[in-house]
Amino acid sequence: MYNKIKEDLLNAMKEQDKFKLSVLRMLKSALQAEEINLKHELTDDEALNIIKKQVKIRTASLEEYKSYNRIDLAENLEKELTILKSYLPEDLSIEELNKIIDEKFDSIKPESIKDMGRVIKEVSSVVGTRADMSLVSKIIKEKLMNM
């Protein structure tokens, strides 16, 4: 993953795509900062988590800009999001996510909301970066509340 980003960064330099270049430089910088914090080379999963975090930050900012009617800034963020999302695997559909959660419910057999953390941990080990964990948490909480 990290090598692909470096390769795309070089291609953006060659193509003189200044916008993509700036986004990829920012992403490379975030990845390098995390490498320094962790004191080891990033795995693909760790790199994906960082990219996902960058997407989440920009998505929140995008909503802010739209609420303040800053269309110019919102358009730039949408372009950045498109570039960043191209490095992420496709998210699981709601149906696939529900199926995984149901399987974990069958194996863990949670009895109350107190078991929510355990269920989330098991589900996150399966879905990894292919699902928004806030959505996973919401679905699990609803299922536990309706038991």
Burial readout 21-52 (b: 16 or more C-beta within 10 A, e: otherwise): bebbeebeebbeeebeeeeeebeeebbbebbb
In this prediction, residue 122 carries a pLDDT of: 92
| Domains of the chain from N-terminus onward | 2-85 (1.10.1510.10), 94-145 (1.10.10.410)
Over the chain (147 residues), the average pLDDT of each successive run of 10 is 90 95 95 94 89 92 92 93 92 91 91 90 88 89 87
HSE, side-chain direction, 13 A CA sphere, residue 83: 24
Q: Which residues contact 23 (CB under 8 A, 6 or more apart)?
A: 79, 80, 83, 84
Token pair 């997407």: residue? 55
Separation of alpha carbons 31 and 103, rounded Å = 34
Neighbours of 82 (CB within 10 A): 11
In this prediction, residue 128 carries a pLDDT of: 81
pTM above 0.85, yes or no: no
